[in-house]
Amino acid sequence: MASLIRASGHTAKGYTEGDHGQWKGKHCFIFIADPQPGLCDMVENEGKGHTWKKEIDLVKKSVVAINKISPAPKFLCIGGDIINALPDESAEIRTRQADDLRNAFSKLKPSIPVFFVSGNHDVGNMPDNDSINWYLQQFGDDYFSFWMHGVLYIVANSQLIYDPSSYEEYAKVQDEWLTKQLQYAKNSSAKHVVLFMHIPIFINQPDEDDFYFNIPKSIRGDLLRKLAEARIEKVFCGHYHRNAGGEWISKEDNTKKVECVVSSAIGAQLGDDVSGVRVVEIREDKITHAYYGVDNIPEKVLEDE
């Protein structure tokens, strides 16, 4: 049975710098966005989202394939919208969706821990004390950091960045924590630094107009500059239910770059992609990634270039 990590105290026990701060060579991890059990019923059947066999079957199929990957991934990250029912919907349905999703991922090899990222369907479009507490009880901390094989990973609650107005005091606490984490990352010995958040900073272009699927322009530029200063190279996101992404390059220093990787969903599609997962390969000098449909997840990764 897989280890489903519940972060506490804004860290993941057993995955600190002391545990995993040393670089141990090339490896990979799996990024899966938007399982969102129930959305397929709404999108494909015009249903109420009260049935989610399709999403669970897709997750189970991907788990079988991921268990065959060699060398085995060091971890799997679920990039938000773990469930579909929003906080103002049935508590019973939300709990069932969470339980069924956890059960499906629990079939991963025990050597592949699972880390959770909060999405807007998990904590609400307007988070409050109740919705955050529900998430903490179900999945652990909504913002935290962890280390794996010499790489530092930071997990942020993007809903608090997108619109902090509904829970300003809590958003401020995360912002203060994130500022400290970025300073820590800048000065750390990490071979790479990676950020996970649900809502993309941008979809295709750093200067694109605001819309539902990206972080507002009013804060986007400053956020990207802060991430670059902290040596963050990649930001892995979901939310869009389509594959997209692009690169921001600092106008002041073109060596400072941040790639926003927008990964389509393991569940319902809103574009022309297929349900799938992203395989991320970590080498000493670079990070590369590729999206694979559930039926085409490779068994061999990290092959010599």
CA-to-CA dists, residue 282 to 179, 194, 301, angstroms? 25, 11, 11
DSSP 115: E
Tokens of residue 286, six digits = 């670079």
pLDDT number for residue 302: 87
11, 145 in Cβ contact below 8 A?
A: yes
pLDDT number for residue 226: 97
pLDDT number for residue 1: 65
pLDDT tens-digit readout, 11-28? 999 999 999 999 999 999
- 199 Rama class: left (phi>0) / alpha (psi -120 to 50) / beta: beta
85, 50 in Cβ contact below 8 A?
A: no
Tokens of residue 92, six digits = 């019973």
DSSP assignment string, 191-257:
SEEEEE-SS-S-SS-TTPPP-TTS--HHHHHHHHHHHHHTTEEEEEE-SSSS-EEEEEE-SS-TT-E
Mean per-residue pLDDT over the chain, rounded: 97
Tokens of residue 236, six digits = 């892995």
Query: What are the DSSP E strand ranges found in the chain?
Result: 27-32, 76-78, 114-116, 144-148, 151-155, 192-196, 232-237, 244-249, 257-262, 276-282, 287-293
DSSP β-ladder status, 27-32 and 276-282: antiparallel
- 100 Rama class: left (phi>0) / alpha (psi -120 to 50) / beta: alpha
**Phi, psi (rounded to 5 degrees) for 299:** -90, -25
Q: Please, which residues bridge with residue 195 across strands?
A: 154, 235
SS3 78: strand
Question: Per-residue confidence of the chain (305 residues) as pLDDT tens digits?
Answer: 679 999 999 999 999 999 999 999 999 999 999 999 999 999 999 999 999 999 999 999 999 999 999 999 999 999 999 999 999 999 999 999 999 999 999 999 999 999 999 999 999 999 999 999 999 999 999 999 999 999 999 999 999 999 999 999 999 999 999 999 999 999 999 999 999 999 999 999 999 999 999 999 999 999 999 999 999 999 999 999 999 999 999 999 999 999 999 999 999 999 999 999 999 999 999 999 999 999 999 999 988 65
pLDDT number for residue 305: 58
